[in-house]
Structure 1
Amino acid sequence: MGYLKGKSAMMIFDKHSNLKYKFGNRNFWATGYYVSTVGLNEATIAKYIREQERADQIEDKLTTKEYSDPFKGRPLSNQCTTA
């Protein structure tokens, strides 16, 4: 699993180079993974997804700075404007 996550992260960083500024240490995927071989009920799966989303939302709040325009691919010249 680690090999797949590592290689796919490298491919994503190569294709979308602006992400390297947001994920400077190249930690793109969450630590660990989930595997199950027998049927899980819907409530267990929904709980797992909620917990993952909550962790992602907390991490996203740590940084909101964008280093390039996602639509034009150019570096942003003016990060903040004052009123």
Structure 2
Amino acid sequence: MGTDAAGLATQLAAALPLMLTPIQNPAFQAQLASAASAFLKDPKSITLTAAPAKPMTFMELFATAQSAPQTLPDALGVTVTANE
């Protein structure tokens, strides 16, 4: 791409918000973009954690994925952090 690693990381970090639009969950998209950008600029660690408020059965998970996939990060209590 005619750039160094730092330049490519900056370009990818800038493009992430637009690339994540199909997720259709603005709060999760912002969290994911922020963590991914931090990781791209200083790649140490990235952590995705799922901690649902209440246990979900497989059938609940499957039904949510089918009917409203954009709500899965919220239903599963997903958080994304980088370099912590």
TM above 0.5, yes or no, is no
Given the two structures, how large is their TM-score scaled by the length of structure 1?
0.35
More helix by share: 2
Given the two structures, how large is their TM-score scaled by the length of structure 2?
0.35
Larger Rg: 1
